[in-house]
Amino acid sequence: PQSKLPALGTTIFTRMSALAQQHNAINLSQGFPDFDGPDYLKQRLAYHVNSGENQYAPMIGAVPLRQAIASKTQRLYGHLPDKDSEITVTAGATEALFAAITALVRPGDEVICFDPSYDSYGPAITLAGGTIKRLTLQPPAFRIDWAAFNALLSPQTRLVIINTPHNPSATLWQTEDYRALWQAIAGQEIYVLSDEVYEHICFDPQGHISVLAHPELRERAVAVSSFGKTFHMTGWRVGYSIAPAAISAEIRKVHQYLTFAVNTPTQLALADMLNTGPDHYLALPAFYRERRDHFVRSLASSHFKILPCEGTYFLLADYSAISDLNDVHFCEWLTINAGVAAIPLSVFCADNFPHKLIRLCFAKQQSTLDTAAERLCRL
Ligand code: PMP
Ligand code: GLN
């Protein structure tokens, strides 16, 4: 058939993980932990499977899970979303993002993305008939030039996609960023899709700032999160969106024909984990900070220049003192010759991104990180 996405191949995450496996390299490319999630969560899943909770869940998500998400959101961000009209449980954040983009973007609409940006946004916008307007942020700070942002706005602008804590730059949105965004789009029919899947992996003492904490922006925002990152279970594929009722109604029209409903026992186990499980997500910043700091320390004698990491479980490393290869070729070379797989940053950018930066995932056991650091220090 004539491809609807002719320029698109297989995702970088799938390709780099396959290359890592082929060459028996340590896989710091695709973002997933090499350790398991909490035992309690696994026990609750087994319990619900054995209790016969194995038929379709409600289309919008299991009641106890939506209830638990609502309470958590109120506790953390001071906003209580309505569990029946505003929260939709999806198959990972990936589905929530796709459903939101499909629901909101019409043919001819423009969507503003900040590059480097997560790879799933672009194809969804293209399939919806939208046009992507990219604002490329520059390392090491990846700050937004709001004058340049304003210059991208047009009568066709329909959606702005933001992501904090940010994959791959590991930077955070601050209150001023939300203020600037609101100033730029107030009074126009522009929506905000806020990808917050790393909401609990945030190293700033004041914590993650959600779009839901901004009273005006949240009236036109879809916040997306994922339990995969939070509970070390990326394979469980459960995420959710929170949006005002009118927007959620449109997202649900897409969701009901994309997956219909997310698997039942997993949703119930996650609800139990949130309601009665051990403290987990509040301990996550310290858990990952220790790994981050350990990994940064063990790379101190390497020729990589490590960029600051304020959130997510990714570290950016500048390899310009090691190689002249472009980042895609360097990552291939690194996997095959050094036995460590990483993600090149340019794949998150459509326009020319000449920097020599790679992304290393530190959601790994210390022994994995130690061996990786040893190999990286030899270069
Ligand atoms: N957004 C970002 C920024 C991500 O890094 C990821 C995956 N790691 C996703 C969305 C997708 O999350 P999920 O695995 O829940 O679909
Ligand atoms: N989000 C993960 C990452 O950034 C990958 C998820 C995937 O492979 N789809 O590494």
Where does the pLDDT of residue 350 fall: very low under 50, low under 70, confident under 90, or very high at 90 and above? confident
Separation between Cα atoms, residue 374 and residue 379, nearest integer Å: 9
pTM listed for this prediction: 0.97
Where does the pLDDT of residue 118 fall: very low under 50, low under 70, confident under 90, or very high at 90 and above? very high
Residues 6+ apart with CB under 8 A from 89: 57, 60, 61, 62, 65, 66, 69, 238, 239, 240, 261, 262, 267
- pLDDT on residue 351: 75
Average pLDDT over every residue of 179-187: 97
Average pLDDT over every residue of 339-349: 97
Average pLDDT over every residue of 83-110: 98
- pLDDT on residue 343: 98
Best residue among 30, 119, 225, 229 to mutate for probing ligand 2, ranked by most atoms within 8 Å of CB: 30
Separation between Cα atoms, residue 240 and residue 251, nearest integer Å: 11
pLDDT digits (tens, 9 = 90+) for 247-280: 999 999 999 999 999 999 999 999 999 999 999 9
Peptide bond between residue 140 and the one before it cis (omega within 30 degrees of 0): yes
Sequence ranges of the domains in the chain: 12-30+282-377, 39-276
**Residue minimizing CA distance to atom 7 of ligand 2:** 13
Average pLDDT over every residue of 15-34: 97
Average pLDDT over every residue of 70-79: 97
pLDDT digits (tens, 9 = 90+) for 166-178: 999 999 999 999 9
Where does the pLDDT of residue 234 fall: very low under 50, low under 70, confident under 90, or very high at 90 and above? very high
Separation between Cα atoms, residue 348 and residue 73, nearest integer Å: 29
- pLDDT on residue 42: 98
| CATH level 3 topology of 39-276 | Aspartate Aminotransferase; domain 2 (3.40.640)
* Ligand closest in space to the Cα of 239: 1
For the chain, what percent of residues have pLDDT higher than 90? 98
Which of ligand 2's atoms lies nearest the C-alpha of 197? 1
Query: Could you tell me if 303 and 321 are in contact, meaning their C-beta atoms sit under 8 angstroms apart?
Result: yes
Separation between Cα atoms, residue 112 and residue 161, nearest integer Å: 6
Q: Which residues line ligand 2 (CB under 6 A)?
A: 11, 13, 30-31, 167
Domain 12-30+282-377 has CATH 3.90.1150.10: yes
- pLDDT on residue 15: 94
**Residue minimizing CA distance to atom 1 of ligand 2:** 31
Average pLDDT over every residue of 25-54: 97
Average pLDDT over every residue of 222-227: 98
The ipTM estimated for the assembled molecules is: 0.98
pLDDT digits (tens, 9 = 90+) for 206-215: 999 999 999 9
Which of ligand 2's atoms lies nearest the C-alpha of 94? 9
Best residue among 171, 229, 343, 345 to mutate for probing ligand 1, ranked by most atoms within 8 Å of CB: 229
SS (H, E, C) the chain: CCCCCCCCCCCHHHHHHHHHHHCCCEECCCCCCCCCCCHHHHHHHHHHHHCCCCCCCCCCCCHHHHHHHHHHHHHHHCCCCCCCCCEEEECHHHHHHHHHHHHHCCCCCEEEEEECCCCCHHHHHHHCCCEEEEEECCCCCCCCCHHHHHHHCCCCEEEEEEECCCCCCCCCCCHHHHHHHHHHHCCCCCEEEEECCCCCCECCCCCCCCHHHCCCHHHHEEEEEEHHHHCCCHHHCCEEEECCHHHHHHHHHHHHHHCCCCCHHHHHHHHHHHHHCCCCHHHHHHHHHHHHHHHHHHCCCCCCEECCCCECCEEEEECCCCCCCCHHHHHHHHHHHHCEECEEHHHHCCCCCCCCEEEEECCCCHHHHHHHHHHHHCC
Largest CA distance in the chain: 58
Peptide bond between residue 58 and the one before it cis (omega within 30 degrees of 0): no
- Between the CA of 151 and the centroid of ligand 2 the distance, in Å, is 31
pLDDT digits (tens, 9 = 90+) for 358-378: 999 999 999 999 999 999 999
Q: What is the mean pLDDT of the chain?
A: 97
pLDDT digits (tens, 9 = 90+) for 49-58: 999 999 999 9
